[in-house]
Structure 1
Amino acid sequence: MTGIALLGAGIFAGEEHLPAIEACPALTLKAVYSRSQQSAEALAAASKDPASVAVYFDRPAVEGKSLADLLQRDDIAAVDIVLPILHQPGVVEQALRAGKHVLSEKPVAGDVEGAQKLIAWYEGLGTANKPLWGVAENWRYVESLRYAAQRVREMGGTLVTFKLHKYGFVKSDNKYFNTEWRKTPEYQGGFLLDGGVHFVAGLRFLLAAAGQDIKQLVGYSALLDQRLIPVDTVHAVAITQDGKSGTIGISFGTEFKSGMEIEVVTTNGAVSWDTTVVKTVARKGGSGDERVEETKEFPYSSGVTAELGAFAKAVEAGKLDVLQTPLEALKDLEILQRLLESGAGGAAVKAIGL
């Protein structure tokens, strides 16, 4: 088993990453860390065996209880970092310098430039005995999305068009809204960055099954609800390397419109996905005019348990899962950032591809 520490309390760490770690037979939770003693102790108390989980924090300062102290422990080989967006890169670097394998939460950094700098530093470590660093994008591990990608590959054909539409409304009593760093964001895009990279990752996952990725986009952005600063909505047209166009619409400020759908259409059919349903319309036998329609339902899954399991296997094997590479996460972030930049620039055309 791999000894692991969970860094970062809060809702997401406590409700999703903590039980996911404890459900993984290849991982043993040894310690938790949060910046404050109160939140660190609350996270440890939520574990299955609080007595076996050591607590670390930096406020107040207590000898032997800091993050640096945690990272010195030989029985902890890996850390799962679930901290606010702007705090993560520094902790990622600190953990890697200490020789710990790292799984850090999406996005890979607050902006493309910061992500590039961190990735370049990591790649500069060379290959000898370098700890693994993966970026957690749980949507790539959702069973229904993986099935949708499988259906796109089986259907075949040439991409015709695609869409990503995600609409919803963040209410004032929303538990995520009521974390101070989200309520008063100091990073670009607000909820569009925090949640939007999930949706972009899902779209890219299905486009990859059709052999395509986004290479150019142009969009408009808006702030529909003044609580959701700095911007809560973006609508765009995106183009792949083969010149095929599709639409992207993401909004956290539409009170009377909700739902999520990603669709990929090829010359042989179409696959539509939401978190629990995959719908396929395809040519029967791969040719002719007769069509076959299929609807397959799935229980809801966040994919977090599967992504932690993949990371545990990577640590054991000494090779990172390709779906967790920082470069893959950088591509998600770049598309999201270019959407924001295009919207802020009055629908300026943005190229994709660092």
Structure 2
Amino acid sequence: MAPQGVAIIGGGIFVKEEHLPAVLACPQLSLKAIWSRSIKSAQETAKLIPGDASTSVDLYSSDSGEGKSFDDVLKRPDITGLIMALPITEQPAYIEKALAAGKHVLAEKPIAKDVETAKQLIAKAQKIAAETKATLSIAENFRFVQGYSYGAEQVKQLGKVTGFVVRISWSMQTDNKYLNTAWRAKPEYQGGMLLDAGVHFTSALRKLLGPENAVDSVIAQTSLIQSYLPPVDSINAILKTKSNVVGSFIFSVGTTLSAFDFLIACENGSVQAEGSRVVTTRGAGQNATKEEKTFEKSNGVKEEVSAWAESMASGTPNPQQAPEMALADLELLEGMLTSGDKDGARQKLELQHHV
């Protein structure tokens, strides 16, 4: 089967460093166009395409004049799908327009700035899909990181989950390249960097816990340690699952502490997952045995792009990229942020069955 034509929508850091290489490495895809809000950004992205291949990729932007707009990309019959990475508050409108034009979309996480907006987007996408057959997929690359998939398998083998701890913390400095994009420096959405990065970690936790341990409610406190990371940069939360298991979720981008692990306690052992490294402990006490498994380091982007290409070819969306999955990731994080805004008031969750 001939490669399917795709366009990249956006020219930011993640497009340049991750999406572009992933598309070029996927034999099932052929990059036909790049659109960005500025022609400068589109040109900078195209320069990263090796050899003469860049000459076959057409550039579009909001400031390129007639015939070079986003709408013009959508008119091209040789483009089947779009990979989209735009500012959080702007992306849903572009998604809807692309789906209406009959283009499949792989859109960067988070699905939207809040749960209500995400619900509206999903409802519109479903209505449009009934007419155009175009599908919406959400790019949550942590679902394609081998360590979390393997860790989830180990958790299932060790019996009932009895507790869990998530510890994610680092110091985001003022010169951080992501922080210095204009829409992130002055966020017009809840949580700031905690929303932008945090859905990765709620996604990984939900994968490790599995549907039988879906989170039912949360209580949390949030704070702002660094004034340049508004509105908040730290979460300390207690999560309770439908199976009455209690765990903690500690996430900060404004601390001098450094941590990155997911710890899941089970009846017959425990699992510590760190993405490319998973330590499984079987048993307890002096009789416990440890098994460490390492994987080639990957953030899952090439794998998720390949999975999306396969889904377009087969006509069957990949369940790991379902919008409802991204909605549940967002709901869990929004519950913690909302609880923090309300000084620890318990927030009931309704969408966590999407695992």
Task: Please indicate the TM-score interval, normalised by the length of the shorter structure.
Answer: over 0.9
Alpha-carbon distance, 1:333 to partner: 0.4
Q: For the residues of structure 2 that align with 1:315 and 1:2, how far apart are their CA atoms?
A: 8
**Paired residue total:** 347
Shift of 1:124: 2.1
Gaps (5+ residues) in structure 2? none
Check conservation: 1:167, 1:259, Cα contact below 8 A.
yes
Aligned equivalents of 1:242, 1:17: Cα separation in 2 = 38
Matched with 1:65 is 68
| Paired position in structure 1 for 2:236 | 235
Structure-1 residue corresponding to 2:260: 260
Aligned with 2:141 (options 106, 124, 138): 138
Query: Using the alignment, how far apart are the partners of 2:60 and 2:303 within structure 1?
Result: 26
Residue in 2 aligned with 1:10? 12
Q: Deviations over 1:297-324 (max 9, x none)?
A: 2232110000000000000111111110
**Distance (Å, rounded) in 1 between the aligned partners of 2:229 and 2:129:** 42
1:33-112 matches, within 5 Å, as 33-48=35-50, 49-59=53-63, 61-112=64-115
CA distance in 1, matches of 2:286, 2:349: 37
Cα distance between partner residues in 1 of 2:243 and 2:139: 29
CA RMSD of superposed structures (Å): 1.5
Partner in structure 2 of residue 159 of structure 1: 161
Letter in 2 for 1:29: L
1:41 Cα shift? 1.1
Deviation at 1:43, TM superposition (A): 0.9
1:291 aligned onto 2:288: yes
The answer to whether the 8 A contact 2:233-2:253 is kept is yes
Aligned to 2:279: 279
Residue identity matched to 1:294: E
Matched, 1:124 2:121: no
Equivalent-residue separation in structure 1 for 2:132 and 2:72 (angstroms): 22
Residue 348 of structure 1 corresponds to which residue in structure 2? 345
Query: Is the 1:106–1:136 contact (alpha carbons within 8 Å) kept by the matching residues of 2?
Result: yes
Distance in 1 of aligned mates of 2:276 and 2:243: 30
Asked whether the 8 Å contact 1:132–1:319 carries over to 2, the reply is: no
Q: Which residue does the alignment assign to 2:325?
A: 328
Deviation, 1:128, is 5.7
Q: Deviations over 1:149-186 (max 9, x none)?
A: 1211233x111001111000111111111111111111
Q: 8 Å contact 2:151–2:278 — kept in the other structure?
A: yes
> Please, which of 179, 182, 185 is the counterpart of residue 184 of structure 2?
182
Secondary structure of the 1:51 match is: helix
Q: Describe the SS at the equivalent of 2:213.
A: coil
Corresponding residue for residue 317 of structure 1? 314
Aligned-partner residue type, residue 251 of structure 1: S
Ranges in structure 1 where 5+ consecutive residues have no aligned partner: none
**Alignment partner of 1:303 is 2:300:** yes
What percent identity do the matched residue pairs reach? 40
Structure 1 residue matching 2:6: 3-state secondary structure: strand
Supply the distance in 2 between the matched residues of 1:297 and 1:315 (Cα, whole angstroms).
Answer: 31
Deviation at 1:22, TM superposition (A): 0.6
Query: Displacement of 1:146 after TM fit?
Result: 1.4
CA distance in 1, matches of 2:129, 2:91: 22
Which segments of structure 1 move beyond 6 Å, counting only runs of 4 or more?
none
Deviation at 1:238, TM superposition (A): 0.2
Q: Distance in 2 between matches of 1:82 and 1:129?
A: 22
Contact (CA 8 Å) 1:189, 1:232: kept in 2 or not? yes
